[in-house]
């Protein structure tokens, strides 16, 4: 009888720990229109595409809303935690595990249409006040070319800042195809600067079997044929097809 009680107590205490040990906590922040918040939950095409892929490969996961900058610091100390859809950063590449690419976005220099600015090369940026979304590769390119800039930490407010003349040029990964019509009437893409990849970045001690499972599941990033309906639902089929080309997924 004593042994049975001990066994029941052991199962009650330890089995939940073991059963949850393979669950991955995904830290993400809103990144419209790809990641949005609805009814206090994260959703959008990035989230829903991942859900389809993860469920297909029996990957346990949970999304938690966390600012990306804080998340990248938090996952250093927390096993089975990852940041979902973050940019590559040389500063973290040796202490965090870059598991898989999720998507590729184009970085453009945008201006207000009323400004009549026409950029011919990146050197032309020296003439203007430049606002930049916090992307490591872009900051490196601008610094190498001697271009001064101001960092924008809240991408959701970037277009408003451009249109209110806080700066002349906005360098961002926004996509005109995905903006509302009012905004697209007021801004224009001036010069393609760079292509940036969004990554799934995890704690460096993530179990190898989980790493392998995630990499196999995300071998087509977020653009496997099974996610096509998600991209159609959000009217982003052009973005889906562009990424399939970039990731060499077209058969």
**What digits encode the pLDDT tens for the residues 225-242?**
999 999 999 989 989 998
Instruction: Choose between 204 and 7: higher pLDDT.
Output: 204
Tell me the C-alpha distance between 146 and 139, whole Å. 10
SS3 of residue 31 by DSSP:
strand
**What digits encode the pLDDT tens for the residues 162-221?**
989 999 999 988 766 666 667 778 888 899 888 888 999 999 999 999 999 999 999 999
Burial 121-145 (b: 16+ CB within 10 A, else e): ebebbeebebbbbebebbbebbeee
DSSP state of 16: H
pTM: 0.76
DSSP of 105-158: EEEEEEEEGGG----SSGGGGGGS-EEEES-HHHHHHHHHTT---EEES-GGGH
Kindly indicate the confidence band of residue 249, based on its pLDDT and cuts at 50, 70 and 90. Answer: low
SS3 of residue 62 by DSSP:
strand
Q: Give the DSSP H or E segment for 61.
A: strand 61-65
């Amino acid at each position: 009888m004593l042994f049975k009680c001990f066994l029941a107590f052991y199962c009650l205490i330890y089995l939940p720990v073991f059963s949850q040990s393979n669950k991955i906590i995904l830290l993400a922040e809103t990144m419209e229109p790809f990641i949005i918040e609805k009814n206090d939950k994260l959703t959008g095409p990035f989230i829903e595409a991942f859900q389809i892929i993860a469920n297909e490969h029996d990957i346990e996961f949970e999304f938690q809303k966390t600012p990306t900058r804080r998340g990248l610091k938090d996952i250093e100390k927390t096993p089975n935690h990852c940041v979902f859809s973050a940019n590559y950063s040389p500063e973290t590449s040796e202490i965090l595990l870059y598991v898989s690419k999720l998507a590729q976005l184009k970085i453009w220099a945008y201006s207000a249409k009323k400004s009549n600015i026409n950029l011919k090369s990146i050197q032309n940026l020296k003439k203007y006040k430049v606002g930049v979304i916090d992307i490591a590769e872009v900051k490196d390119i601008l610094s190498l070319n001697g271009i001064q800039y101001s960092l924008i930490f809240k991408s959701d407010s970037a277009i408003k800042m451009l249109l209110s003349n806080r700066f002349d040029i906005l360098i961002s990964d926004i996509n005109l195809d995905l903006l509302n019509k009012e905004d697209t009437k007021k801004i224009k893409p001036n010069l393609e600067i760079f292509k940036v990849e969004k990554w799934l970045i995890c704690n460096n001690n993530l179990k190898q079997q989980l790493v392998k499972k995630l990499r196999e599941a995300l071998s087509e990033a977020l653009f496997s044929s099974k996610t096509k309906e998600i991209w159609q639902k959000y009217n982003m089929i052009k973005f889906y097809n562009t990424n399939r080309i970039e990731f060499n997924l077209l058969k």
